[in-house]
Amino acid sequence: MGLLSKKDANLILDPLADNNPITIQVLGICSALAITAELKASLVMAISVIFVMGVGNVVISLMRNIIPSKIRIIVQLIVVATLVIIVDLVLKAFAYELSKTLSVFVGLIITNCIIMGRFEAFALANGTWRSFLDGIGNALGYGVILIIVGFFRELLGSGTLFGIPVLGDPIAKTGLYATGYENNGFMIMPPMALIVVGIIIWVQRSRNKALIED
């Protein structure tokens, strides 16, 4: 990457794998379980979080020298809340159906531990550009897991991807369904998201021995 120094590039690349907010830090699990039944919802959620975290980290970083430390949590909350409301209204205006699917979970981005965590741990102590990269990186790490989980859950649970049937028609019994295959209803339920996330963690840790804890 010519654009970024190696240190800056690591801000984006680290959270994608070795310091992933979901699989390594186990933050933001709540929304990862709730909205990943469809790939489209996962994607929109990922984009929303990327927006909120990128902008939020920049805003907090800009204000970091004037925020009194006693009330910093409240200031952070106000920043996130403002951004989340923007996302919510945009979704309602341009993707109403989707915003109904995501329902309360857009609002709950406010409580997403990853966001508050990065504000506290990074944006309050670092410059604007680095904070921006850190925000984008962590949100991408979150989004990647969301999309992987969403992909498997929608494919195995509903036989579709982005709402488009890819395995045939389950009612007319075409494609794979002609052989007796059926959708796995368990995949659509939240417990299965937990198990899929667990399997991702398992695979990741068994490939990278440095991550294994005793």
Partner 1 sequence: MGLKSTLHNLKEKYKGTKMAPAFNALHTFLYLPNETTHNGTHIKVADDLKRTMNIVIMAMVPCLLFGMFNAGYQHFSALGTPVEFLSWDAFYIGLIKILPLVIVSYGVGLAIEFLFAVINKHEVEEGYLVTGMLVPLIVPIDTPLWMLAVAVAFGVVIGKEVFGGTGMNILNPALTIRAFLFFAYPTWMSGDKVWVHGAVERDQMIAAGEKLDAISGETILGTLAQGKEVVYSLSDMFYGFIPGSVGETSTLLILLGGLFLIFTKIGSWRIMLSSTIGALVMGLIFNGLVSADIISEGSKFYGLMSTTFWHHLLIGGFAFGTVFMATDPVTASQTNKGKWIYGFLIGFLSIMIRVFNPAYPEGVMLAILLMNVMAPTIDHYVVQGNVKQRMKRLKVKNA
Choose which of 85, 185, 203, 208 interacts with partner 1 (CB under 8 A).
Answer: 185
Do 40 and 71 meet the contact criterion of CB atoms below 8 Å apart? no
Q: Are 31 and 97 in contact (CB under 8 A)?
A: no
Does residue number 203 form part of the binding site for partner 1 (CB under 8 A)? no
Taking the complex as a whole, the smallest distance from the CB of residue 25 to partner 1 amounts, in Å, to 20
Runs of H (alpha helix) within the chain = 6-13, 29-34, 39-63, 72-94, 96-102, 104-107, 113-121, 128-158, 190-207
Give min distance, CB of 148 to partner 1, in A: 18
Residue selected from 189, 204, 205, 211 as contacting partner 1 according to rule CB under 8 A: 189
CB nearer to partner 1: pick between 79 and 193: 193
CA neighbor of 103 nearest in space, from 201, 175, 37, 20: 37
Q: Binding-site residue total for partner 1 (CB under 8 A)? A: 11
Stretch that binds partner 1, among 12-20, 79-87, 141-149, 184-192 (CB under 8 A): 184-192
| 186 contributes a contact to partner 1 by CB under 8 A | yes
Tell the smallest beta-carbon distance from residue 184 to partner 1 (Å): 4
Work out whether 187 is an interface residue with partner 1 (CB under 8 A).
yes
Q: How far apart are the C-alpha atoms of 96 and 87, rounded to whole Å?
A: 12
- Near partner 1 by CB under 8 A, which window of 26-34, 64-72, 145-153, 185-193? 185-193
Q: How far apart are CA 127 and CA 193, in angstroms?
A: 36
What's CA 41's distance to the chain center, in Å?
A: 11
Residues that bind partner 1 (CB under 8 A): 180-182, 184-187, 189, 195, 198, 202
